[in-house]
Amino acid sequence: MNVMKNTSLNINRGAYYNFETHRLIKKLISQKLNVLNIPDEIILEIKEILTINKEIKTINIDDYCDDDKIKIIEQIISDCEKTSITNIYTKKRKGEYVLSRHLISALIAILTKLSYYKIAKHIGYKSHCSIVNAKLKVKNYIDTDKTYKQDFINICNLLNIDFDYVYNRL
């Protein structure tokens, strides 16, 4: 799977195993299905995910320039959220888009040398204060929501960065 559209970076689809499995389990629970009555399409989807590249591959985010880091972060978050980058950057106030924007802006602030002003301009925020607010929101979600924390840890693992390092800089 070619993760980046304009570059030649390749990240193995198996790296998203934990997120996709988690989402399928949520899908099963939300439909309140009896374990014995799981539809065939969901069983096939689970089998496909479990058999595709069981080995989880990561990238070293420090090997890239700031522009490439931004593209990688955006692509990983959009893949994990199963939405497009353009949806994330719209002015919509749907929770999933807002949380994704916060997460992207917080990771960009921590992993690049860009100023808050440049990050805010890239994401479409009105001022640099939105980046500070996004970092606070991400930290609050990590502290209060175990699922969000696990997803955040998985993203850190995909980027080959230490969770504690990122958490302490939020």
Asked, for residue 22, whether it belongs to a domain, the answer is: no
Report the distance separating Cα 59 and Cα 92, nearest Å. Answer: 31
pTM summary value: 0.64
Report the distance separating Cα 95 and Cα 116, nearest Å. Answer: 23
- SS3 call for 168: helix
**Structural domain boundaries enclosing 154:** 61-168
Give 84-99 pLDDT, tens digit per residue.
888 887 777 777 788 8
Give 146-166 pLDDT, tens digit per residue.
988 998 998 888 888 889 999
Which domain CATH number covers 164?
A: 1.10.1750.10
Question: Cα–chain-centroid distance for residue 51?
Answer: 22
CB neighbour class for 34 (10 Å; exposed up to 12, middle 13-18, buried from 19): exposed
